[in-house]
């Protein structure tokens, strides 16, 4: 079962949330789409990115599909010679992450593996949240690239939180942000397991179903737009959900004119049907 769509319809953070909650295993391919108003001379080939998942956790990432990304990182740092890597890869059965194979032979230590994972996966994946336009395809059950794996992994939503914190241009996600007159309701009964920033923590504490985001902004003395961005981050990592004004408990809402109430962003029916079928499919 595959899942595909455009990032302006279903953001990368929302995609990660679906894959983590569904404990999906497979390959997520992302193709950056260039602006259509560029001339042929200005238009470069669409860049592609690849992210491998195992049971909802991100295990590897690359901007190339020749399975040489991790090896290139190691040889550039002078940690392992290219000839040694080729010999190890040829003699392996191809069923063990390359990073762990090198560690077991004493060629890398755990700190080096962590640094490789930060560079190869965390930095690369977080940078993808800057994409304005793109098309994604998740193919369930695709075998992982052991040559691109350090053996380490991260929950997808942890990288979502990091990536959205780094985001400076929120324009592509403007239609995804919760409304100023909406509230938040917590989806967890305990404190969040994520390491939240001070401002994220303060917004989460107001996820009581009766405090509008505009009220939070006034009480916390944080710009409303920033509160909306924080709320979106908390929504896509799955610890709160938006509560529309009509469903909120009284009395802590700000008065808002009808002109300020915007229609929620819509997603195509075909994508919703595809998403429903995908979520109902057996996790692999």
Return the closest-CA partner of residue 178 out of 203, 202, 205, 161. 203
- 133 & 192 share domain: no
- 105 & 201 share domain: no
- 128 & 194 share domain: no
Range scoring the smallest mean pLDDT among 112-126, 170-184, 247-261: 247-261
> For residue 35, what pLDDT is reported?
73
- 148 & 184 share domain: no
Domain for residue 104, yes or no?
Answer: yes
- 92 & 55 share domain: yes
Give me the mean pLDDT over the 171-186 stretch. Answer: 95
Tell me the C-alpha distance between 217 and 228, whole Å: 9
> For residue 54, what pLDDT is reported?
97
Range scoring the smallest mean pLDDT among 2-16, 23-37, 65-79: 23-37
Domain for residue 210, yes or no?
Answer: yes
- 128 & 195 share domain: no
Domain for residue 54, yes or no?
Answer: yes
- 124 & 186 share domain: no
The count of C-alpha atoms lying within 13 angstroms of the C-alpha of 70, restricted to the half-sphere facing its C-beta, is 31
Report residue 170's pLDDT band, with 50, 70 and 90 as the boundaries: very high
Cβ contacts of residue 226 below 8 Å, gap of 6+? 199, 217
Q: How many domains does the chain have?
A: 2
Tell me the C-alpha distance between 1 and 279, whole Å: 10
Domain for residue 85, yes or no?
Answer: yes
User: Per-residue pLDDT tens for 198-217?
Assistant: 999 999 999 999 999 999 99
Boundary of a domain, candidates 114, 139, 155: 155
Domain for residue 163, yes or no?
Answer: no
Domain hosting 243: range is 180-260
- 118 & 189 share domain: no
- 18 & 107 share domain: yes
- 121 & 244 share domain: no
**pTM for the whole thing?**
0.84
What would the two tokens of residue 84 be?
């040694």
Domain for residue 191, yes or no?
Answer: yes
Give me the mean pLDDT over the 251-263 stretch. Answer: 46
Domain for residue 165, yes or no?
Answer: no
Contact 240, 231 (CB under 8 A): yes
- 82 & 194 share domain: no
Boundary of a domain, candidates 155, 190, 211: 155
Whether the pLDDT of residue 261 is over 50: the answer is no
User: Per-residue pLDDT tens for 7-33?
Assistant: 999 999 999 999 999 999 999 999 999
Domain for residue 280, yes or no?
Answer: no
């Amino acid at each position: 079962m595959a899942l595909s769509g455009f990032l302006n319809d279903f953001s990368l953070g929302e995609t990660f949330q679906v894959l983590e909650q569904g404990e999906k295993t497979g390959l997520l391919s992302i193709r950056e789409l260039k602006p259509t108003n560029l001339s042929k001379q200005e238009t470069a080939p669409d860049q592609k990115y690849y992210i491998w998942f195992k049971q909802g956790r991100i295990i590897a990432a690359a901007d190339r599909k020749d399975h040489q990304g991790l090896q290139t990182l190691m040889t550039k740092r002078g940690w392992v010679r290219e000839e040694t890597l080729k010999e190890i890869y040829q003699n392996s059965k191809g069923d063990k992450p390359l990073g762990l194979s090198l560690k077991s032979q004493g060629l890398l230590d755990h700190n080096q593996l962590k640094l490789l994972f930060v560079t190869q996966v965390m930095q690369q994946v977080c940078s993808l949240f800057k994409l304005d336009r793109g098309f994604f395809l998740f193919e369930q059950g695709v075998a992982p690239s052991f040559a691109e794996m350090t053996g380490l992994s991260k929950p997808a939503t942890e990288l979502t939180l990091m990536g959205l914190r780094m985001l400076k241009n929120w324009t592509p996600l403007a239609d995804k942000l919760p409304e100023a007159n909406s509230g938040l309701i917590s989806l967890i009964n305990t404190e969040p397991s994520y390491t939240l920033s001070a401002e994220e923590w303060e917004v989460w504490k107001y996820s009581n179903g009766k405090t509008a985001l505009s009220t939070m902004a006034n009480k916390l003395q944080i710009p409303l737009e920033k509160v909306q961005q924080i709320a979106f981050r908390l929504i896509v990592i799955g610890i709160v959900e938006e509560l529309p004004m009509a469903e909120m408990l009284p009395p802590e809402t700000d008065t808002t004119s009808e002109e300020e109430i915007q229609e929620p962003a819509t997603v195509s029916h075909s994508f919703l049907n595809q998403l429903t079928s995908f979520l109902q499919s057996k996790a692999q």
